[in-house]
């Protein structure tokens, strides 16, 4: 009996230690917006995007920027520096920090489930290499899919424009039961996920917008804060990017 009790204690301690490792693995950023706070955990599997996002947040780059593009049942987008103190009427979405990031697409592990955070980019015609905008990001809302709809959305993942990508059962169940935007898989770098404030994302994506998908009432990122950094953050050395593209 004593041996069994000791074994249970050791297993419990190991599990607690493992959970602690999982928690401290990822960096966390808090977006304080006019509609509430959103907390985002960043993926260590996308180190270039992770470190770039942490750097911009630390520099106050996002403070005062807007969620300038909102598409109901799809995504909410922010990070255009041109949106700071914008009086309205201007078409946004072209700004950035002056560089782009090499893609870090990690299917089937990082995908466009509800709450996923990914970097925006120009369309395929102008950007066939899928380089990410250096600052603009979006948060996925999406919708739930039926099996046939999901198969259609993923049709281009195998032998398509970007080559072959894997899917798995976890991805399938997530899209069928919770929702997301599977049609974006393979084309954009997912570098994090919302861990708190998904209700804020839902409220933002339901807001009234104009003909350019800009909210009629400005939704502002008042302040972006780095709450914690993973041990791996900053370990990529010099950032890989393509300068002078803006």
- Please check the confidence at residue 45 and state whether its pLDDT lies above 90: yes
- Please check the confidence at residue 117 and state whether its pLDDT lies above 70: yes
Average pLDDT of the residues in 127-141? 96
- Please check the confidence at residue 210 and state whether its pLDDT lies above 50: yes
According to DSSP H, which parts of 113-207 are helical? 147-153, 169-177, 198-205
| Whole-prediction pTM | 0.85
pLDDT on residue 159: 60
Residue 112: closest CA among 176, 187, 182: 182
Average pLDDT of the residues in 31-53? 97
Burial class (CB in 10 A: 0-12, 13-18, 19+), 244: exposed
Average pLDDT of the residues in 193-216? 96
Burial class (CB in 10 A: 0-12, 13-18, 19+), 83: buried
Mean pLDDT of all residues belonging to the chain: 87
- Please check the confidence at residue 244 and state whether its pLDDT lies above 70: no
- How does pLDDT run across 149-193, given as a tens digit for each residue? 999 989 877 666 566 788 899 999 999 999 999 999 999 999 999
Reported confidence tier of residue 217, pLDDT bands at 50, 70, 90? very high
Q: What is the CA radius of gyration of the chain?
A: 19
Q: What is the percentage of the chain residues whose pLDDT exceeds 90?
A: 69
CB distance 84 to 64 below 8 Å? yes
pLDDT on residue 1: 52
Residue 119: closest CA among 188, 68, 53, 48: 188
């Amino acid at each position: 009996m004593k041996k069994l009790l000791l074994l249970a204690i050791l297993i419990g301690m190991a599990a607690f230690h493992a959970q602690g490792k999982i928690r401290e693995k990822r960096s966390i950023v808090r977006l304080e917006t006019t509609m509430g706070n959103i907390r985002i955990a960043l993926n260590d599997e996308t180190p270039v995007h992770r470190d770039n996002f942490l750097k911009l947040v630390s520099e106050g780059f996002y403070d005062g920027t807007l969620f300038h593009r909102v598409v109901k049942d799809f995504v909410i987008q922010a990070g255009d520096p041109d949106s700071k103190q914008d009086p309205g009427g201007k078409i946004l979405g072209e700004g950035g920090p002056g560089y782009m990031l090499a893609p870090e697409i990690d299917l089937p592990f990082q995908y466009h489930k509800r709450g996923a955070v990914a970097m925006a980019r120009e369309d395929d015609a102008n950007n066939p290499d899928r380089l990410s905008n250096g600052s603009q990001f979006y948060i996925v809302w999406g919708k739930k899919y039926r099996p046939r709809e999901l198969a259609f959305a993923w049709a281009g993942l195998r032998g398509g424009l970007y080559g072959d990508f894997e899917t798995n059962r976890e991805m399938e169940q997530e899209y069928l039961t919770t929702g997301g935007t599977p049609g974006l898989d393979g084309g954009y770098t997912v570098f994090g996920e919302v861990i708190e404030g998904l209700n804020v994302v839902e409220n933002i994506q339901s807001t009234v917008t104009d003909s350019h998908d800009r909210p009629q009432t400005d939704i502002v990122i008042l302040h972006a804060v780095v709450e914690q950094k993973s041990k791996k953050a900053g370990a990529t050395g010099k950032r890989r990017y393509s300068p002078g593209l803006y």
